[in-house]
Amino acid sequence: MDMLEIDGSRGEGGGQMVRTSVAMSTVTGIPVHLTRIRENRPTNGLSKQHVAAVRAVAQMAGSEIEGCTMGSGDLLFYPGTQHEYDINVNISSAGSISLVLQAMLLAARGHKKRLTVDICGGTNVMWAPPIDSYSTLLFPMMRKMGIAADVKIIERGFYPQGGGRVIAGLDPIGDISPLQLDTLGDLKAVRGVCFCQRLSDWIPDAMVKSCTQMISPVADIDIDIQYTEGDSRGAGIVLVAEYENGMLGSNALSARGQSPERSGRDAAKDLLSEMRSGATMDVHTADQLLPYMAMAQGESSFNVSRISRHLLSQMDTLESFLDVKFGVERIQDVYRFTVTPGARR
């Protein structure tokens, strides 16, 4: 089979192109050669997190890899045909568990039995989805597509120590139902999780208070505060607005030099902005669900408030592997996306 050549500096030019490429290579059986990986980033080539993701995906199918080392800008991935079902992954840093898991779950499209992944690294780190958003938002949305995944947080890991641990499971994926989110319907609930590890109790209290003050004029909100023990320290908040037909989410981490009140306000502001925009899916969730829509048994549609470079890059990568057509149309203040599998034949 011919090898697919992908320029890793194109579009968003980050690690997502690497993760999606090796996952889709596993799903389709198409070998892939990635060049100029993260060439436009301050630190070029593969990071520890990317190396962990590629190796984990390779282990799942007995795939062969060349160039999978820290700083490498050139990667060859030859997908195997085996199916491993119990996998342990150690990112050995605060690298994002969520992002490594994202690639692994997608790569498991052809698995015939339940996949279990025991993974160590960062559960709540900057520039990555918090692991909490998987259980509260991503996985419930995947269930609407007929995909059953779950996750259990054993220990939280924050930057720079990491040390988090998560056990995730994925049932075999059969036919994937399309998602048609043209309207969200009525608002059912707004809820959240505020987590705190090895920091003073006033920090999550302040975060929840400022968040509640912003959202309560619009909707009732229920936020669960979780205190945990672990090697690293940190705090943050994850919010979800649940509607009849779908969900919108936002999140914020506490940061040095930023008050917890501001973190709470930022999360609330982002959620309210999505709720008022006319979007039927937040842009981060769209980014993660797009590959499954591209493999669904029919056309999917959704509205986003903005088009991220991540989303465009994801479309570009998926079009390289699959027979799928994406449509984007500006309608008033939102962008309507359509995903039509099999449309290019």
Catalytic residue ranges: 310
Rounded to the nearest 10°, the torsion over CA 289, 207, 123, 306 is 30
Tell me the residue type at 49: Q
Contacts of 18 (CB under 8 A, 6+ apart): 8, 34, 37, 38, 46, 50, 53, 54, 75
What order of strands is seen across the sheet that includes strand 187-197? 221-228, 187-197, 234-243, 247-253
Cα–Cα distance, 268 to 45 (Å, whole number): 35
CA–CA gap between residue 33 and residue 48 (Å, rounded): 19
The residues facing 117 across adjacent strands are 87, 168
Alpha helices in 29-126 (DSSP H): 48-61, 97-107
d(Cα 60, Cα 79) in Å, to the nearest integer?
10
How remote is the C-alpha of 32 from its chain's centroid?
A: 22
Q: How far apart are CA 172 and CA 110, in angstroms?
A: 8
